[in-house]
Amino acid sequence: MDKVYVHKHALKHGLDEDEIIYAWSNFVRSQQRQTPKEDQIVRIGYGRKTSQAIQMIGVLAPHGALIIHAMSPVQESIKKELGLSRR
């Protein structure tokens, strides 16, 4: 598995690095974004400590993934983007 890095910006919503990396590595839904953000991956995973759903945005690179955003609870717009919204 590639290395996972967490940008300091991803910590601003109160999640710690270990929780974010765990959720990134154990995701339940993942998708590459469309143009103009096709370099980004959006994921939803569950934390190990809190068991809460966490939304994450990362950028994949040859050396691994850089997570640039993480927060909980998951926003409706992210659920919709990943096909998880209620109808």
pTM of the complete model: 0.88
Report if residue 48 sits inside a domain. yes
Report if residue 86 sits inside a domain. no
Total domains present in the chain: 1
Cβ count within 10 A of residue 82: 17
Q: Mean pLDDT, the chain, as a whole number?
A: 91
Domain span holding position 26: 3-81
* d(C-alpha 84, C-alpha 52), whole Å: 16
Here the CATH number for the domain that contains residue 70 is 3.30.2310
Residues constituting the chain: 87
- pLDDT score for 87: 59
Mean pLDDT of 38-67: 91
